[in-house]
Amino acid sequence: MLAALLLCLVGIAVAQRPQPCTAPPQWEGRIFDINEQQKFSVEGKLSYDAVYHRERIIDEIDEGSTSDYYDVLSLFDSRVEFVYNFKARNCTRREIQRPWRDFGIRPTDQSYGEAYIGSSVFPDTGVLVTIWAGNFTLPSNDTIDYVSTWTYKGCLPVSRTTYSDKFGSSHLSFYDITIGISDPNVFIPRRECVSAEEWENRYALFDVPHKKIH
């Protein structure tokens, strides 16, 4: 009887353990990322594609600012990244050294429960989110700890705070997320980033995710 009771209690505990939700594989939204220790901040639009391992971040330009603003297209399966500098009006092509990492709740992440952003007292005054924490290791062998929040409905990213001894603390926030990719050409490089021949064949070269680009 005792063994049966223990098995029953274990079953209840497992059944009540929070399970990670699955984020949409393709979405777009505005982001704000800041790291005071690295003196780094980014505000712009992110197009995210976990199906073909692609992402593009276009900085929002602050008119009158002397800062550099970038358009960064990363094609992970082709191991190539295009970085266009709006101020200098030039483009750099470089090899991607880091691996693709799905932006979602990992199976190994630990749940820290749920909370409302805003309030649950009145209707439509808050958003219920789930809170998860974990870590990952960079190719440089630096460990990054993080805490992330996701909407309970839809499993959309809300924020992620990361910390490491080397890089300090960084806070990333997401806004105005829409599901899917609104413009299928968003993962085609800018004209300034490719040769005339590549531009002429851009759909064959860059719209086929698994084709190697040198």
For the stretch 18-40, pLDDT in tens is: 889 999 999 999 999 998 888 87
Residue 169 has pLDDT above 80, yes or no: yes
Mean pLDDT calculated for residue range 147-167: 95
The mean pLDDT value of the chain amounts to 87
141 pLDDT band, cuts 50/70/90, is: confident
Q: How many CB atoms lie within 10 A of CB 74?
A: 20
Is 90 exceeded by the pLDDT of residue 73?
yes
Rounded to an integer, the average pLDDT of 151-170 is: 94
Q: Which two tokens stand for residue 192?
A: 């300034």
Rg of the Cα trace of the chain? 21
Please report the pLDDT score of residue 81 as a whole number.
Answer: 97
Is the pLDDT at 66 greater than 70, yes or no? no
Cβ–Cβ under 8 Å, residues 111 and 18:
yes
- As a whole-number percent, the residues of the chain with pLDDT over 90 amount to 65
List of domains in the chain: 25-206 (2.50.20.30)
CA distances from 119 to 127, 157, 198 (A): 8, 19, 52
Specify the pLDDT at position 62.
Answer: 64
Per-residue pLDDT at 208:
62
Predicted confidence (pLDDT) at residue 59 exceeds the cutoff of 80: yes
pLDDT of residue 67: 78
